[in-house]
A and B are shown apart, each in its own frame.
Chain A
């Protein structure tokens, strides 16, 4: 990919992205430009891990701590679940219960369950049962509607 940089002395700074096809790399660049490209810092066994939000399957609150789960890693993050749910809302993160935030892009299959609940099967085969209240919000997100705040 060719990189062209031009210094300007007046006017507004701008970034023009010319692309033939929307790829993961282009999306990452867009994310950085929009100020949401930061990785999520987590701690696992005294070691600091950096999670790419796109790689996170879900975030869970356990015993007052918030944990991020990717395909093969788990790390404790310092931010609260609510804060992360809002920060990554536009990247497909969705609050599916009081203690969990799911990455919709990591859901492989959804199943309608009795009582208007939804069972989500993640790409790592883990299953999450979404209650009626949160299932309604998930439907709204998938339809592209504004979700009801309760």
Chain B
């Protein structure tokens, strides 16, 4: 029975191809969901700080919905169009361009929707803040993989010790 299951190549029949396609779709959707929430909260924090600085203590629900939808839209672009650059192995030209481009999109949306009252200074600071945010996420992912690499090699060594 075990032999047979190995001989059947995964994804060769219609059912399993559909299943693996669905799982791939689900994996990408979860990644987008995660990114959207992450950047939404980062922008929300900046938005709230801006409001408090202007002496306003209540947030606009419409602005929050706009931030969320923008984060979703750019999340889709990141995953499907820009090779998930904030999870890249190295920051090359392509990743750098994508980072500046997406930051530009967020900044344009902030100005267009008036999240910071179309204040130029706040918009410039927001651009730098988002760029820094992207860089931090890239670094966190890199550190996470470094820790994982160390753990993998430790497990490999232990596995080899168990020989016999």
Task: Name A residues whose Cβ lies closer than 8 Å to a Cβ of B.
Answer: 22, 26-27, 30, 80, 82-83, 85-86, 92, 95, 98, 104-105, 107, 109-115, 118, 132, 139, 141-144, 149-150
Known: A111-B149, A114-B141, A142-B155. A83 touches B7 (CB 8 A): yes
B5 adjacent to A149 (CB under 8 Å)? yes
Segment at the A interface, from B59-67, B118-126, B156-164: B156-164
Known: A80-B7, A86-B3, A86-B6. A142 touches B145 (CB 8 A): no
Within 8 Å by CB of B145, from A109, A113, A143, A149, lies A113
Give 30 A-B contacts (CB < 8 Å), ordered by A residue.
A22-B163, A22-B164, A26-B164, A27-B164, A30-B164, A82-B3, A82-B7, A92-B159, A105-B163, A109-B153, A112-B145, A112-B146, A112-B148, A112-B149, A112-B152, A113-B89, A114-B84, A114-B87, A114-B88, A114-B141, A114-B145, A115-B84, A118-B152, A139-B155, A142-B155, A142-B156, A142-B159, A144-B159, A144-B162, A150-B10
Within 8 Å by CB of A110, from B89, B153, B158, B162, lies B153
A104 adjacent to B7 (CB under 8 Å)? no
CA distance A107 to B87 in the complex (A): 25
Chain B interface category by residue count:
20 to 34
B94 within 8 A of A: no
- Of all chain B residues, the one with the shortest Cβ separation from A118 is B152
Q: Which residues of B contact A104 (CB under 8 A)?
A: 156, 159-160
Q: Which residues of B contact A114 (CB under 8 A)?
A: 84, 87-89, 141, 145
B9 within 8 A of A: yes
